[in-house]
Structure 1
Amino acid sequence: MESNYSEDQPGIIKIFQPYQWFFSSEVASSVLLLFASISAVYLANSFIADTYNHFLHTEISLFAGKYYISKSLVHWINDGLMALFFFTVGLEIKREILVGELASFKQAMLPVVAAIGGMIVPGLIYMFFNYKTPGAGGWAVPMATDIAFSLGAVALFGKRLPVSLRIFLTAFAIADDLGAVIIIAVFYTKNIAWYYVIISLCFVLALVLANLLWIRWLPLYLILGTGTWLAVMGSGFHATIAGVIVALTIPARGKYNTFKFVQEVKSIMDDFKCHDEQCKNKDNILLNEGHLNSVLTLEMACHNVETPLQRLERSLHPWVVYMVLPLFAFGNAGLSFEGMNISAIIHPVSMGIVLGLFIGKPLGITLLSFIAVKTRLASLPDDVKWNQVIGVSMLGGIGFTMSLFIADIAFTSADFLNYAKLGTLSGSMLSLIGGMVFLGFYSRKSGETQ
C-alpha cells in the first residue's frame, strides 16, 4: 500500500489514508473470524456441545431499581455488541458520504448500484426455491456481504490488484450493510411499541440538537446514544438499528477548522523557539514550564481539530473487528450436524442461500454495474477491468457474519436456522474459493502479458 511515509525519515509514524487503515484492520480480523467460526462448529458437534449451548444461553441481567433487562449471552452479543458493530458501520457510511467514495453522485453510483444488484438477484434466487414455503422469511439472508472475509481474500493478491478495486469492494460492501439495516427495520419488525418509538425519537432529537449546538463532548453522545439503544430495543425494532441512527448524528466537524489549527500550531511553535544553550539538553523539556505548556496546548489543538466522528471510528474499530465480530461468529456459527444427512444441503432454505450467495451475488453485482457503466450512470475506474469486477463480485458472495445475523432474526425454528447456517457457510466457502481462483487466474494471466 502507498502511504505518506519515508524510509529516510526515522521516527515518522506511518500514516494511512482512511481506506488503507480500514482495509488493513478488516484483513487482520478475518483470521480471528475464521478461528472463531471453526471453534464454534467444532464445539457444537463435540462431546461438550451441551456445555457450549448452555454457556451461550446463560441469562445475564441488568438492574436499575425495579427495572431490569434479562437476556441470554448470545442475545446480548446479537442485540448489544452488534449494535456497536452497526454504530461503526454508520460512522463509516457517514464518512464515505461526506468525504469518501460515496461523496459525489458519480463516485457513489457504481458501488451503490452494485450493492443493489447484489441484494435483488440473490433474494430472487432464494424466493425461487422458497416461495410460499415456511422458509420464505429468510429471503434476505443471501443478500449480505462480509467485509472482513472479502477484504482478507483480496489482500492475498497484494499489488497484483489495483487499489481502486479494493475501494470498490469496500464501498459496495458498506452500501450492502446499509441495505441490510433498512431491510431489517422495514421487513423484520413485527410488533411495534409506539411508546418506546416516541422515546427513541426524543433521544435522537436530543442528539441532533447537540450536534447543531456545536457540542463536541462525547460522553453526552454516549449517554443519549445508550438511551436510544434501550428505547429501540423496547420498541420492537431490532436494537442494532439504533447503532446506525446514532452514528449519523455524531459531529463530523471538529472545534477547529484546518486554517485555525494551522494558525494555532504556528503560534505555539513560535513560543516554543529556543535560543538558549540549555535548551539543547534533550531531557530539559519537562524542566521548562513554558515548553511544557506549549506541548499541552499543541496536544489540545490536535484534539480540537480531530472530529468526534474520526475519533470514535479510530477508537472503536479495533474493538469491533478484533472482539465483537469474532464473539458474534463464536456465538452464531455453531452449526450442529446432529440429525442431518446429505439431503440437508438440498433443502430449499440451504439451496436458496448457497445459490443466492455463489451465483446471485456475482450475477447481480456484475450485471447492474455493467448496465450502470454502459448507460453512463456510473464509470469504471481506469485501472479496473471487468474480469476483476467479476472476481470481487464473487467474493461479495461471502455473506458469513451478516448472513448469520439476518438468519438469526428471520428464523425462530432451530431446524431452519441450522439449514440457514449450512447454506451460509457452504455458499460463503464456495464464493471464497471461486473468487480466489478466478482472480488468481486473471491476475497471473495479466502479469504474463505485461
Structure 2
Amino acid sequence: MALLRVKPLSALRQFLKGQASGGIILMVAAALAMLIANSPLGRAYEHLLHSRIGPLSLHHWVNDGLMAVFFLLVGLEIKREVMDGQLSTWPRRILPGIAAAGGMAVPALVYLAFNGGATARGWAIPAATDIAFALGVIALLGNRVPISLRVFLTALAIIDDLGAVVIIAFFYTAKLSLIDLGGAAAVTILLFALNRSGVRRLIPYLLIGTLLWLFVLRSGIHATLAGVILAFAIPLQGTPRKPDLEEHSPLHRLEHLLHWPVGFLIVPLFGLVNAGVPLLGLRAEALVAPVTLGVGLGLLVGKVVGVFGASMLAIRLGMADMPAHAGRLQMLGTALLCGIGFTMSLFITLLAFSNDAMLQAEAKIGILAGSLLSGLLGYLLLRVAKGDTPDRMEA
C-alpha cells in the first residue's frame, strides 16, 4: 500500500532524529538520578519514589502505568515496520533478525556463566538493546555513519524489543488471576472486533485499552504488556475516503502523538526513577558480584559477539548482504552500540529481582557500566572507522 511510501526517507529521518534526541535526554536523566541518589537528597529521593498516589506508589505509576504507554509506542513501531516498513519482507528481516537473535542469546549465556540458582533469573537483563540511547550516540557522530547502519540498528532494536516483550510475558509473570485474564481476553477480542468492523477513530481504542490495562494489571501479567496488545489492535489503514494518506492512518496518528511525550518525558522519567543507585552505601564486593559481572559483561562482550558474529556469519553464508556502504569496522562499532541496554534492561531487572534490593543494585551497576563502556567504545570505533558512504545521513 502507498500509506508508508510517502517520502519514506524523510519519515525515517524524522523518526531517527526523534529517537536520538530522546536518547540524549535519557542520558542526562540517568546521570541526574545517579547524582541525586548519591547526594544528601538520596533519602528524600527514595521516600518520594515510595510515596503513594491512590492505589499505587509513584514508582509503580511510572513503571506500570507510564511505561505501558512506552510499550504501546514500541508495539506500534513493531507493527508498522513488520506490515509495511523496514521489516515488511523476508530479505529485509533476515540480517537484523539474525543479529537480534545472536544479540539476545549470547549475552544470556554470558550471564549464566557467572550465575546459577536464584540469580539465574536475571538471564534476560543483558539481552535487550536501548534504541533511544544507541541512536543518541549515533547522533553525536553526525554524518560519519551511513543511513543503512542506522536502519539496521533500528530494525535490530525493534526485533529486540519484540523478543523482550515475549520474554517478559513468558518468564516474568507472577501468580495469575483467571478472572482478570478472562476479562483481559474479552476486552482484547473487543478491540480486534473494532478493527475488523472498520472503526478508525482512536478514542474508542484508547478508552477500551485503558480497561485492558486495568485487567492486565490485576491479572499477574505485567501491566505494560497491555500497551503491546492495544498497539496490534490499532488499524494501520486510513479512512475509507482517504485510505492511502499517512495522516489518516490511526496507527500513524497515534505514533506521531506519542513520540514526543514518550521520548522526552516518559522514558527520561523512567530513567530518573530507576537509574539511581546509592553507590556509597554498597559493599565493595557488589562491584564484582556475579550479577554485576554477568550483566556488565553480557552487555559489553555478549552483545558485540552475538550481534557482530551472527551478522558476519549470515553475510558469509550468503543469507544476507552487508548494509549498503558500510564497512566491517562500522558493523563492529554498531554491534558495540547494541550493548547499551538501559531502559529495557532496567525494566527486566525490576521484574527479575522484585524482592531483592541488593540484587537490583548489582544489576543496575552492571547495566550502567556495561552500557557506558559499550557506548563509549562504539562511539570511538565509529568515529575512526571508514566506509564508502555516499548514502550517509545528514546530521
TM range (shorter): over 0.9
Shift of 1:381: 2.5
Aligned in 2, Cα 1:212/1:146: closer, same or farther, shift over 3 Å? same
Q: Distance in 2 between matches of 1:437 and 1:15?
A: 30
Unaligned runs of 5+ residues in structure 2 are 1-6, 390-395
Q: 1:419 aligned to 2:353?
A: no
Aligned letter for 2:45? Y
Shift of 1:341: 4.1
Aligned residues: 382
Report the aligned-residue RMSD: 1.8
Shift of 1:257: 6.4
CA contact (8 A) 1:354 1:424 kept: yes
Shift of 1:427: 0.4
Alignment of 1:140-289 (within 5 A): 140-256=124-240
Q: Distance in 2 between matches of 1:210 and 1:408?
A: 34
Which residue in the other structure is 1:89 paired with? 74
Q: Distance in 2 between matches of 1:80 and 1:366?
A: 35
Which residue in the other structure is 1:285 paired with? none
Shift of 1:26: 1.1
Which residue in the other structure is 2:393 paired with? none
Structure 1-normalised TM-score?
Answer: 0.82
Give the secondary-structure state (helix, strand or coil) at the position aligned to 1:135: helix
Q: Distance in 2 between matches of 1:32 and 1:57?
A: 24
CA deviations over 1:94-152 (Å, ceiling 9, x no partner): 110111111001101111111111110000000000022x3211111101111111001
User: Greater CA deviation, 27-36 or 196-205?
Assistant: 27-36
Which residue in the other structure is 1:124 paired with? 109
Which residue in the other structure is 2:83 paired with? 98
Which residue in the other structure is 1:429 paired with? 372
Q: 1:405 aligned to 2:347?
A: yes
Structure 2-normalised TM-score?
Answer: 0.93
Shift of 1:373: 2.1
Q: Distance in 1 between matches of 2:8 and 2:103?
A: 33
Aligned counterpart in structure 2 of residue 360 of structure 1, from 302, 306, 311 = 302
Aligned counterpart in structure 2 of residue 45 of structure 1, from 38, 50, 55 = 38
CA deviations over 1:282-303 (Å, ceiling 9, x no partner): xxxxxxxxxxxxxxxxxxxx79
Q: Distance in 2 between matches of 1:46 and 1:155?
A: 31
CA contact (8 A) 1:106 1:379 kept: no
Tell me which stretches of 4 or more aligned residues in structure 1 moved more than 4 Å.
none
Q: Distance in 2 between matches of 1:337 and 1:345?
A: 9
Aligned letter for 1:367? G
Q: Distance in 1 between matches of 2:137 and 2:328?
A: 18
User: Greater CA deviation, 154-163 or 246-255?
Assistant: 154-163
Give the secondary-structure state (helix, strand or coil) at the position aligned to 1:254: coil
Q: Distance in 1 between matches of 2:317 and 2:216?
A: 41
Unaligned runs of 5+ residues in structure 1 are 1-13, 62-69, 262-301
Q: 1:390 aligned to 2:332?
A: yes
User: Greater CA deviation, 137-146 or 373-382?
Assistant: 373-382
Aligned letter for 2:207? I
Aligned letter for 2:255? E
